Chains A and B, each alone.
Chain A
Amino acid sequence: MNEDDLILLEQYLRGELPPAEVQKLETRLNKEPDLQADLTLLRKQNQYLAYRAGGGLSIEDLETMAKDARTDRPEEIKSRKASSGRILRIFIPAAVAATFLLFMWWQPWDSADLTPEELYAVHMTQPVWDVTTRNSDSTDPELTNSDKVVLSIRPNLLQQAAQAYETEDYQTVASLLERYSQTDAPNSEVLLIYAVSLIEIGDFSTAMQSLETLAESGSLLASEAPFYQCLALIKQGKIEEAKTLIRQTPKGDTKLERLREDLN
């Protein structure tokens, strides 16, 4: 489609063409199936843009929400992961039975008996991290060469960090994400994973800074920040500070409420 036709079709869709022009264009549309197809697509693009401009969700947003909703059910994630391996399917019932026996012997519902380390171990849930690499748009004429270099580094670093996260190599995750944030502002998911990794390796002050940034980000994951801030305090043995923080935190998801119960 040439630029003149694009302008013409846009004016037509906006109802800005004079009647004589409309008639001429409609005659062309009847004769030129390609032009008709371009009009169909342009109409769809306009509808999509109007929806997004109003603040409408994208499919990516929806996937994130689905993932978030699943993250609140760690037992379901565990069972799904278990289905991938036959050995794990046998191992899980045995582990559940053993955990139950241990649970009865240990009586963890009496939170006064839990040490900070135990409280941390019981409640720490590493968020699921799924790195989806976007097309780097390398043919986009608007990108400068330096943009292209940055875009090619970013997915690489994230993929390496995600692999390290999968193997619970939090030291590597933290250093890769630190490098990543030097080239670009990290999104809320990266901030959360970075903070969790820092908590795991004991760099609490940087973890708390990262979680504060996340809490102020206004993103969907912002509500996760207080939970991990509490866990960071618990891991440092600062139980009273954790209690104060959780008292100031509004009611949240299941894992936060379980932590609140145990702390109180």
Chain B
Amino acid sequence: MYIHPRVNTQQPHPDHQQVIELGFRQGQSAPITRIYREVGPGLVKKLRSSGATENEARDIFQEAMIVLMQKATDPAFVLTAPVGAYLSEVCRRLWLSALRKGNSRKEVSLDALDASMATDQSIHLIDRDLDTRCFRLLDSCYQQLSETCRELLMRLKKGGTAAEITEQMNMNSRHTFDRRKHACIKRWGVLIQAADPTGYCKSQLL
């Protein structure tokens, strides 16, 4: 029943360290800002030449960045292609999906789309990779937790022991810590459930 973490044996591209490790996972702004300045404008232009409006193109690019961020939350994820090529492929797939869903009234042939946004066969993406609904829910509902809850959960995840956290957060006893911890996790779950009444997030594997 327990699902073991996936092991990726492919070699990381040099962009992996900069973008995934330093940028997304360690929160350094410089590599991410560089993507917005150096990769974003080109991809927005390509999307526009594939029939997207300026706003649609910007939204697709931002969604591609969130897809990449979602991938970065998975410790097993390794970026094996240049980040520009990866984002280009994600943008192409997202725009294709938007066209298929009829979200856009644009009449664009798929040939034109492929011509303007070259595909990279080495980048393997499945539909679930592009679906950020659950990640967005986790993120937004986490932000809605009280500061105390967020602090407690962070301290715990950073390796703090129950005794340490009880003292650091001025709690009366270990019992209070346990009660709070479980209340916080449950509250997070309740917020997700309220925003996701169909239980989509609970039914999807990571």
A residues within 8 Å of B by Cβ? 1, 3, 6-7, 12, 15, 26, 29-30, 37-38, 40-63, 65-66, 68-70, 72, 80, 83, 134-135, 137, 140-143, 220
B113 sits at the interface (CB 8 A):
no
Contact A40 B205 (CB under 8 A): yes
- Given contacts A58-B139, A66-B36, A137-B144, is CB(A48)–CB(B182) below 8 Å? no
In the bound complex, CA of A83 to CA of B57 (Å): 15
**Contact yes or no, A7 B29, CB < 8 A:** no
Number of A-B contacts (CB under 8 A): 130
A243 to B16 alpha-carbon distance, docked (Å):
40
Residues of chain B lying within 8 A (CB to CB) of residue A83? 54
Known: A44-B206, A65-B29. A53 touches B143 (CB 8 A): no
Choose one: A7, A43, A44, A62; the contact of B69 (CB below 8 Å). Answer: A62
A220 → chain B, closest Cβ, in Å?
A: 5
What chain A residues lie within 8 Å of B65 (beta carbons)? 62, 66
Q: How far is the CB of A189 from chain B (nearest CB, A)?
A: 14
Which bracket fits the contact residues of B? 35 or more
Q: Please tell me if B13 contacts chain A, counting CB pairs below 8 Å.
A: no
Given contacts A40-B202, A45-B138, 16 further A-B pairs with CB under 8 A are A45-B185, A47-B73, A50-B157, A51-B72, A51-B73, A52-B142, A53-B154, A55-B27, A57-B24, A57-B27, A59-B66, A59-B135, A66-B36, A83-B54, A137-B145, A142-B148
Q: Are A56 and B37 in contact (CB under 8 A)?
A: no
The main secondary structure of chain B at its interface with chain A is helix
Do B206 and A1 touch across chains, with their CB atoms under 8 A apart? Answer: no
A52-B154, A54-B26 known; A66 vs B139 contact (CB < 8 Å): no
**26 intermolecular pairs with C-beta atoms under 8 Å apart:** A1-B186, A6-B182, A12-B2, A29-B1, A40-B203, A44-B134, A45-B185, A48-B135, A48-B139, A49-B154, A49-B157, A52-B157, A55-B25, A55-B27, A56-B26, A56-B72, A59-B135, A60-B143, A62-B32, A62-B69, A65-B32, A69-B36, A69-B40, A137-B146, A142-B183, A220-B29
How far apart sit A1 and B186, CA to CA, in the bound complex (Å)?
8
Contact A37 B62, CB 8 Å, known A7-B182, A66-B36? no
Interface residues of B in 127-141 (CB under 8 A from A): 134-136, 138-140
Q: Which of A26, A44, A68, A134 has the most CB of B within 10 A?
A: A44
Q: Is B74 an interface residue, CB under 8 A from the partner? A: yes
B33: interface (CB < 8 Å): yes
Binds A, one of B81-89, B95-103, B187-195: B187-195
- For B132, the closest partner residue in chain A by CB is A59
